[in-house]
A and B are shown apart, each in its own frame.
Chain A
Amino acid sequence: MLKVSVKWQKEVFPDVEIDTSLPPYVFKCQLFDLTGVPPERQKIMVKGGLLKDDADWKTVGIKQGQKLMMMGTADEIVKAPEKGPVFVEDLPEEEQAVAVGHSAGLFNLGNTCYMNSTVQCLHSVPELKSALLQYRPSGRRNDLDQTSHMLTVATRDLFSELDKTAKPVAPMQFWMSLRKKYPQFGQLHNGVFMQQDAEECWTQLLYTLSLSLRSPGANDNLDTIKALFGIELVSRMHCQESGEESSEAESVYSLKCHISQEVNHLHEGLKHGLKSELEKASPPLGRSAIYIKESRINGLPRYLTIQFVRFFWKRESNQKAKILRKVDYPLELDVYDFCSSDLQKKLEAPRQFLRDEEGKKLGLKVAEKNAAAPKDDDEKMADAEGSSNTNGESSVASSQDGNSCQSEDTQLTGVYDLVAVLTHKGRSADSGHYVAWVKQEDGKWIEYDDDNPIPQREEDIVKLSGGGDWHMAYICMYKARVVRM
C-alpha cells in the first residue's frame, strides 16, 4: 500500500491509497469516485509518460507520498457540428458578390468612364432593375426599332451580371449596342474613342429605356421610366409688355441646376433653373417679345435627377468648358418650395405624418401628447386617415401616369435622400474622368471608379460639391422618401 496525493485541476486529494498488487485501472476507478472523471478519460502523469491501465506499478516507480497530476474532465467531448459553416473562400463567384456587400465595378473600355458611371448610378435603382428583368425580348413591340431593343437587352444583361459577381465586368455588349444606337458615342479621336458627356449618355439611355419599357397595356402612357424619373412641370408664361399669360405642362427627366455668380447652393440653382426668359412671337404685339417662364413642379418622381449645368460651350476654345464653382448640395433635399400650390396641398398631410414619425423616432414628446389629450390624438389620427384617403384618391385621379410600381398606401413627401452622385473631374466635358458614387442598400457609400469599387464615408460625399480640381458632382440622383399611411 502506498499513499500518494493526486492533483486534479485546482483540487488536491491527499492520501490516496494505491494497492500496488492491483493494476492501475483500479486506482483510476478510485479516482473516478473522487472526481467523477471516467477512467478512460483520465490521464495521470507519471515519470516519462502517462499511466497505462495495465502498467506494472513497479516499473512506474511510484514513491510514498508522491504527488501525481491527473488531467481529464467529464465534460462533453467536442464534436464537429454536423453542418460546417460556409466560408466566403469556398463560395462560387456569384455568391461572393453578396458577401462583399456591393456590386462589381466595370472595366474601362477606353474612355468609357462616362458610360460606366452612368450605368452604375442607374443600376442602383432597384425598380429599374426589376422593370428590366420583366422585359421580354419576344415582347418587342412593333413600334420599337431594333437598336433600341438591343440596347435594352444589353442593359438588362449588364445589370444582372453586375449583381452576380464580385469581379469587375467588361460591358462589351452594352458598349456595342450603345454605339449602334447612338453613333455619336463612337467618335474617334486619333484612333481612340473620345471621352463623352455623361449627361448625354444618361439622357439618351433613359430615353431609349422609356421607349422600350412602356407597358404593353392599352394605355400607352403607362411608362415605367416616366413613373420613376419623370417630373411634371407646369409653366406660366408671362409677357411683360403685353401682359398676356399662358400656362403649359411638360414632363422632364431631370431638373437643371443653373450655376451663376449668386448660386452657392443647389436650392438656389434649382430656383434659377425653373425661371427663364425666352423670346417668342407675341400674337397681340405682332412681334417677338420677351416672355418670362416660371415653372413649378406639379408631379414628383420616385427618383429625382438633378443635373448641374456645369458645362457651357466656349467658343474660343471650341469645347465644352466647365464651371468649377462650388455648389453645395444636401444629403436630404426638400423640393416643397418648387412645387405648385396644388401639389403642395397634396403633400401637406404626408409631410406632417413624416414629421410625426421622425419625432417619434427621436422619442420626442409622444408620451406627453398622449397624456395631454388622447382624444385629440385620436381625432388627428382620424384626420390623417381621412386626408390620406382623399389624397390617395386624388393621386390616383390625377394619375401620375399610373403609379404602377407604387403601392396605393405609400405617399411622396417631397423629401428626397441622396442615393447616387455622378462626378466629373477635369476641365471640360469631353475630357477628364467620370466616377459614380452610389449609396448601397445598407447605407454605405461606394465610389465606383471604373473597375475599382472603393468604400467611402457619407461625409465625403457632400464634399464633391466643386470649387477645386477634385471630383465634383455633375448629376445627383435623389430617392423620394415615402410614408406609409
Chain B
Amino acid sequence: MAPAPNSSGGNAPREEASLKVPVKDPKKKDEKKDEDLSEEDLALKQQLELYVERVQDPDPGLQKAALESMRHEIRTSTSSMTSVPKPLKFLRPHYGTLKAYYETMAESDLKRYLADILSVLALTMSAEGERESLKYRLLGSEGDIGSWGHEYVRNLAGEIAQEYSKRQSEEAPIDDLMELVQQIVAFHMKHNAEPEAVDLLMEVEDLDMLMEHVDSTNFKRTCLYLTSAARYLPGPDDVSVLDIAYMIYRKFEEYANALQIALFLDNMQYVKQVFTSCDDLLRKKQFCYILARHGITFELNEGMVSDDGDREALQEIINNSKLSEGYLTLARDIEVMEPKSPEDIYKAHLLDGRASASASVDSARQNLAATFVNAFVNAGFGQDKLMTVQSDSSSSGGSSANWLFKNKEHGKASAAASLGMILLWDVDSGLAQLDKYFHGTDMQVLAGALLGVGIVNCNIKNECDPALALLGDYVDREDASVRIGAIMGLGLAYAGAQNNEVRAKLSPILDGKASLDVVAFTAISLGLIYVGSCNEEVANSIIFALMDRSESELGEPLARLLPLGLGLLYLGKQDAVEATAEVSKTFNEKIRKHCDMTLLSCAYAGTGNVLKVQNLLGHCAQHLDKGETHQGPAVLGIAMVAMAEELGLEMAIRSLEHLLQYGEQNIRRAVPLALGLLCISNPKVNVMDTLSRLSHDTDSEVAMAAVISLGLIGGGTNNARIAGMLRNLSSYYYKDASLLFCVRIAQGLVHLGKGLLTLNPYHSERFLLSPTALAGIVTMLYACLDMKAIILQKYHYVLYFLVLAMQPRMLMTVDENLRPLSVPVRVGQAVDVVGQAGRPKTITGFQTHSTPVLLAAGDRAELATEKYIPLSPILEGFVILKENPEYTEDR
C-alpha cells in the first residue's frame, strides 16, 4: 500500500514496522520507550541519572547528597511491590556502574550508605542465587530494616534462608545473619506477618527467638500458625514447634490452649505445669473437662490443686462421672428420650413387599442383630424396649429375661452386655441392673454381665474401682467365655489407665496355658490399658505369648489380635516401636509380616507421615501367592496413618480407590474398612458412593466390610441417605443371613445413640486424637478383617470395642456452678483461617441455636452473645461460661 516505510499512514504498515523494529535495532526500542515516558517520569529518570553520576563524584559532600536523595526516591516508592517501582526501574541500567564504583570506594560511612542502596537495588536486579541483596545488606549501615518496605524484608528473609543452609553445610559462622534475622523477625511480628517470621525462624532453626517478639496482640496468630504448620513438619521439628507454641500460650496465660498442645504432645509434664501455673479454679475445672474428653487418666495432686474439696470436685470431672448426666440433659433438650426399638430403625414398612415375610419363628442371627441395634441406638439412655422394660416391678425379670433368652448360646453374652451399653456411663444404675445376671447359672449370661460392667465403666473412672473389684475374680475362671467377658470388660473399663493392679491380673494369663481366644483377648485388653505407653513389661509378655503359640495356632484368625495388642502399646509413638519391631522379625513366618505391618501402622497412627503411607502402599502393591495376611493390616495402616489431617486423608482415599482396582482380593476386603476409618462419623459423599458400590460386590466379604463401613461413616449421624441405602440393602440381602446381619449392625451404628453420639477419635476441632478411642475402633476393624471367623462366629461382642470411641457430639454450656446454662450459639461449617490477614470469620453458613446443641463433623460453634466468656477456646463438649464483667445490656 503506502510506500513509506515508517510513520505515516494506516495500521498495517505501522504494525509491520513495530514488528520489525526489535529485529533491526534493539536500541531503538529503548529510545522509543523513553519517548513514551511522561514528562514527570522523564524528569525522574534524568534526576536519577544525575544522582548516579554525582555518586561517582570525588567530592564526598556531593556524594552524600546524591545518595541521600537517591535513598529518598527509593524509599518513597518501595512500600508496595505490585510492580517494579519506577526509581528502581530507572536505576536498573546503572546497577553495574554503581557496583563497580562501590568496589573502588574506600571504607567510609558513604560506602556503607551506598551498600544499603545497592542492597535494595539487588532486590530486582541481582541474578538468581547471587544473594547480593543480603551481601550488601551485611556490608551496609544496618539501619532500620523496615524503612525499605515490606517486600525488601521478605526478599531478604528468603536470601537469609538460602545463605543459612549454605553456611550450615560449610560450618561457617552465622552470627551476622542471626542479627539480621532478629531485626526481620521483629519487623514481621510488628507488622502482622507472623507466618513469615515463623517461617524464617524455622529455616534458621532458632524458634526460641520468637519468645522475645510475641506480645499480646500477635501471639494468637503466631500460635495458630505454629500449631497448623506442625502437622506438615517432619519429626522432631514438629515437637519443637509445638513446644514453642505451648510456651507462648503459657506465657500469655492461655492455659486452655496450652493444655490442648500438651495433650497433643502427650506430655504429662506440660499438663501438670498447666495446672500448677494457673490459679483460677474455674479455669481448672475447664481443663478437667478437656482432659475428660480426651479420655486419659490423670491424677491431681496437692501441688496442682491445694484444697481437698476442690481437688475432689475436679477429679470427679476428670473421671467423667457427670458425663451420663450431661448426655441425658442433652437428650431431654432434643427430646429423644423415648426408647427406640430395632424395628423403628429398620423401617421395614418403607420396603413393603420386599422385606422378608414376618417371620413366625425367631431367627437367632436376627435376634442377635436386634440386640446390637438396640444397644447401639439406645446407648447411654438408660432405657430401651428390649432389655430394661419395667425394671422395678416384680415382672421385670420376666420381660427383660425374655429378650435375653431369645438369643442363642453365645448370643446371650452379647445380649447381657448390651444392658451395659444401654446404661453406658451411668455406673450406679448400670451395676444395679446388671447385678441380676450375676447370680444365674448360665455361663454365657454371666460372661455378658461381666462384659457389661466393663462397658458401663468405659471412659469413667471411679475411686471405688468397681470394675476391678467385680471382674478381678472372674479372669481365672474355668469357662473360657466367662474369662473373656471379664478380660474384655477390664480392657474397656481401664483403657488408657495403665493400672498396675489390672496388669497383675491379666499378665499371668498370657504365660499360662489358656486357650488361644482367651490369650488373644488378654493381649488386646492389655494393649488397651497400656495404649501408647510403650510399656516394656507388657510388650514382653505379649511377645512371649506370641512365641509360645504353635504354628497352627498362629494361622488362626484370632492369633492376629496378639500383634495388635502389641501394636496398641505403641499407638502413635513412632520411633519408640523400633526395638519391638526388631524382635518381631524373629517370629514365626506365619505371623511375622502381619506383626510387622501391625506395629508399623499402629506406631505411626495419627501422624500423617507420608513416608510411612508410601511404605504401606508398597506392601499392598505386591502380589502374593501364598496365603499371607499382612496386606489387610497394611491397608488399614494407610488409613490409620493418613487420617491425621485433611489433605493426607483425601490423598489416602484416592490411593485406596486405586487399590480397589488393582489390588487382590484380600486387599479389596480391607479397603472398605480403611475408608470407614478415614471418614468415621463423617459421611463424605464420594466415600459413601464408593462404599455403596462395594456393598453390592460379588465377593461377599468385600460387601460385608463395605456395609459395616457404611455404618461407621454414618456413625451417629442419622444420615438419611445412608439409612436409605442400608434399608435397600436389607431387602437386597434378605436371604443372606450373614450380610443381613452386617446391614443391621450398620443400621444400628448410623443411629448410634439416636444420633447424639460420634465415633470420631478426633476432637477439639480435629486437633486432638483420643488414643483409647482410636484403639477401640482399630481393634474392631482388625476383627472385621476376618468377618466370617470372628464377628459372624461367636466373637460378635468385639463390636462392643466401639464403645471406647463413643462420645456425645454436643456442645453443653455450663455456668460457674457447672449447671447447664442455655445460651445462643452460632453453629456453622468451620473455616480454616490460618495465616489469613485481619480477623476473618471462623465459620460459614451458620445457624443460631441455643445450647445444648449437636455438632456435626466439621462444624464449629461460637457464642452469639457477649454476655458470657467461654473458658475454653474450642466450643465442644462441656464448656464453662463466665459472666462477662464488661457486658451491658443493649437498650
Contact = CB atoms under 8 A, between A and B. Distances in A.
A258 B401 CA distance: 63
A183 interface: no
Contacts of A440: 357
A395 B470 CA distance: 79
Contacts of B429: 9-10
Interface string B408-452: 100000000000000000001101110111111010010000000
B361 A43 contact: no
A316 interface: no
A80 B362 contact: no
Contact of B362 (A72, A85, A100): A85
A99 B469 contact: no
B427 to A, nearest CB: 9
Contacts of B431: 9, 71
Contact of B470 (A50, A90, A445, A455): A50
Given A49-B469, A102-B357, A77 B428 contact: no
B354 A85 contact: no
Contact of A88 (B363, B433, B463, B468): B363
Interface string A36-70: 00000101011111100000000000000001110
A88 B359 contact: yes
Interface in A75-124: 75-81, 84-91, 95, 98-102
B394 A72 contact: no
Nearest to A441: B357
A75 B440 contact: no
A349 B445 CA distance: 63
Contact of A442 (B357, B469, B470): B357
A78 B354 CA distance: 38
A73 interface: yes
Interface string A1-35: 00000010110000000000000000000000000
Contacts, number: 139
B360 interface: yes
Given A75-B435, A78-B437, A78-B440, A457 B401 contact: no
Contacts of B662: none
A457 B402 CA distance: 34
A49 B504 CA distance: 13
A86 B361 contact: yes
B251 interface: no
Nearest to B445: A78
Interface in A385-430: none
A85 B367 CA distance: 11
B360 A43 contact: no
Contacts of A85: 362, 405-406
A78 B680 CA distance: 38
A75 B466 contact: no
Contact of B361 (A9, A76, A84, A87): A87
A369 interface: no
Contacts of A10: 428-429
A314 interface: no
B358 interface: yes
A444 interface: yes
A47 B363 CA distance: 44
A46 B359 CA distance: 49
Nearest to A95: B361
B470 A75 contact: no
A46 to B, nearest CB: 7
Nearest to B470: A43
B394 A455 contact: no
A71 B432 contact: yes
B405 A80 contact: yes
Nearest to B391: A75
A250 interface: no
B397 interface: yes
Given A67-B464, A69-B462, A89-B364, A43 B397 contact: no
Tell which of B358, B364, B365, B464 has the most Cβ of chain A within 10 Å: B464
Given A49-B473, A76-B436, A77-B439, A457 B353 contact: yes
B97 interface: no
B357 A100 contact: yes
A80 B440 contact: yes
B400 interface: yes
A18 to B, nearest CB: 16
Contact of A98 (B355, B360, B432): B360
B356 interface: yes
A332 interface: no
A442 B435 CA distance: 43
B401 A455 contact: no
Interface string B618-661: 00000000000000000000000000000000000000000000
B408 A46 contact: no
Tell which of A7, A87, A456, A458 has the most Cβ of chain B within 10 Å: A87
Contact of B365 (A89, A99, A456): A89
Interface in A280-299: none
A87 B405 CA distance: 11
Given A80-B440, A456-B354, A89 B363 contact: yes
B400 A78 contact: yes
B511 interface: no
A68 B464 contact: yes
Contact of B428 (A7, A46, A47, A455): A7
Given A88-B363, A98-B360, A77 B436 contact: yes
Nearest to B435: A73
Given A84-B405, A85-B405, A76 B357 contact: no
A9 B432 contact: yes
A69 B466 contact: yes
B405 A41 contact: no
Contacts of A79: 397, 401, 440
B356 A455 contact: yes
Contact of B404 (A78, A90, A445): A78
Contacts of B440: 77-80
A45 B394 contact: no
B357 A101 contact: yes
A440 B357 CA distance: 10
A136 to B, nearest CB: 32
B101 to A, nearest CB: 88
A101 B358 contact: yes
B175 interface: no
Nearest to A75: B436
Nearest to B364: A87
B362 A76 contact: no
B868 interface: no
B357 A45 contact: no
Contact of B353 (A68, A91, A445): A445
Contacts of A77: 397, 436, 439-440
Tell which of B363, B429, B731 has the most Cβ of chain A within 10 Å: B363
B501 interface: yes
Contacts of A455: 353-357, 731, 734
29 contacts: A7-B428, A10-B428, A43-B470, A45-B464, A45-B469, A48-B468, A67-B463, A69-B466, A71-B432, A73-B432, A73-B433, A75-B396, A76-B394, A77-B436, A78-B439, A78-B440, A79-B397, A80-B442, A85-B405, A86-B361, A87-B361, A88-B364, A95-B361, A98-B361, A100-B356, A101-B356, A101-B358, A440-B357, A455-B356
Interface of A: 7, 9-10, 41, 43, 45-50, 67-69, 71-73, 75-81, 84-91, 95, 98-102, 440, 442, 444-445, 455-458, 460
Given A10-B428, A68-B464, A79-B397, 16 more contacts: A43-B435, A48-B469, A67-B464, A69-B466, A73-B435, A76-B396, A78-B437, A78-B445, A80-B401, A84-B405, A88-B361, A99-B363, A101-B358, A442-B357, A445-B353, A457-B354
Q: Rank and list the top 6 A-B pairs by shortest CB-CB distance, nearest first.
A: A101-B357, A457-B353, A69-B464, A45-B469, A76-B397, A87-B364
Interface of B: 352-365, 367, 394, 396-397, 400-402, 404-406, 408, 428-429, 431-433, 435-440, 442, 445, 462-466, 468-470, 472-473, 501, 731, 734
